[in-house]
Amino acid sequence: MSAVPVTDETAADFARSAPVIEVKNLWTVFGEQVVHRDLSIAIEAGEVVSLVGGSGSGKTTLMRQMLGLEHPRQGSVAVFGIPLAGTPKHLVKKIRRRWGVLFQEGALYSALPVFDNIALPLRELRAFDEDFIHDMVMLKLDMVDIERRHAWKMPSDLSGGMIKRIALARALVLEPELVFLDEPTAGLDPDRSESFVSLIQSLQRSLNFTVVMVTHDLDTLVSLSSRIAVLAEQRILAYGTLHEVTAVDHPFVRNFFHGERGKRAMAAPAAQALIG
């Protein structure tokens, strides 16, 4: 593979051999504060990986590193086998089109109606006409169970649950192979949160994209993730299935998984199936 020059066409094929995301010996430092100390993790295609850790443990920062929104002090972050630092801009742009990001508050463009929010990435490609874009946006709205009559509403007129769904539709509009979810269920009531989780789950199963998510919510974590990465002490403390991770003896793990909330979530059928 190394002999093949990286072109637009071959770039698409890297995902098969290399891990989708490979973080090697990453150091993140803000001023005096070391957030990540020599952190490494590799995420394979098709996985649903949850990043968990106490507040301030650097999970969101790690996700921002993977997105190229923060820059490593040392070490490297490669997505689809292509390092984010030191790669020509137009290739990094190709990567950016192959992932979708769901921000915690949705980050819909407040000045644009729902339709234009979802259409924006498609229009940026300048490859499709308005008729196609219209059908595509409607298709994505159908996929996230948003009624079409909401298409011309402004984000400020929508409820939190709808904003999340529409933001998910926007994240999925370029058919990403990799989807980042930042606290996907934060701010949703239990009922909505459950239906949003099952929506993500069914989309992930049918479209088979890789998911990296940051979450605090044990129910979300248990029902969605195939692997869990625990961040503590500025590194990846444990990376594995729920069963493997819960076996680790560490104060954070004990607190998080074996506390009152943890026990309840683990008793759920989904968790039982995972632990086996």
Partner 1 sequence: MTKSNSEAPVRHPDIEIRQGEAGARVWISGAWDIRALESRARALRRRLADVTREVGGAGWDLSEVQRLDHVGALLLWQAWGKRRPGMLGLRPEHAVFFSNLDRDKERVGAPRDFDWLGLVRALGANMLLVVDHAVDMVRLLGQMLLDSLSLLTHPARGPWREISAGINRAGAQAVGITAAVGALIGITLSYLSSEQLRTFGADAFIVNILGIGVVRELGPMICAVLVAGRSGSAITAQLGVMRVTEELDALAVMGIPYTVRLILPKVVALAVVVPLLILWTSSIALLGGALSAKIQLGMAISQFVSSLPSAVPIVNLWLGVGKGVVFGILIALVSCHFGMRIEPNTESLGIGTTRSVVTSITVVILADAVFAVIFADVGISLT
Cβ nearer to partner 1, comparing 76 with 204: 204
Cβ nearer to partner 1, comparing 8 with 32: 8
- How far is residue 29's CA from residue 33's CA, in Å, rounded to a whole number? 6
- How far is residue 117's CA from residue 172's CA, in Å, rounded to a whole number? 12
Q: Which of 7, 93, 152, 275 binds partner 1 (CB under 8 A)?
A: 152
Please say whether the beta carbons of 50 and 217 come within 8 A: no
- How far is residue 50's CA from residue 229's CA, in Å, rounded to a whole number? 6
Task: For residue 111, state whether it binds partner 1 (rule: CB under 8 A).
Answer: yes
Q: How many residues of this chain bind partner 1 (CB under 8 A)?
A: 37
Q: Which of 120, 136, 186, 248 binds partner 1 (CB under 8 A)?
A: 136
Task: For residue 107, state whether it binds partner 1 (rule: CB under 8 A).
Answer: no
Write out the binding residues for partner 1, residues 11-30 only, by CB under 8 A. 12-13, 16
Q: Which of 36, 59, 140, 170 binds partner 1 (CB under 8 A)?
A: 140
- How far is residue 255's CA from residue 86's CA, in Å, rounded to a whole number? 40
- Residue 148 carries which DSSP code? G
Q: Interface mask (CB under 8 A) for partner 1, residues 66-105, using x and -?
A: --------------------------------x-------
Is the torsion defined by CA of 105, 94, 176, 57 positive or negative? negative
Cβ nearer to partner 1, comparing 55 with 156: 156
Residue 200, judged by CB atoms within 10 A of its CB (0-12, 13-18, 19+), counts as: buried
- Region of 19-27, 59-67, 206-214, 242-250 interacting with partner 1 (CB under 8 A): 206-214
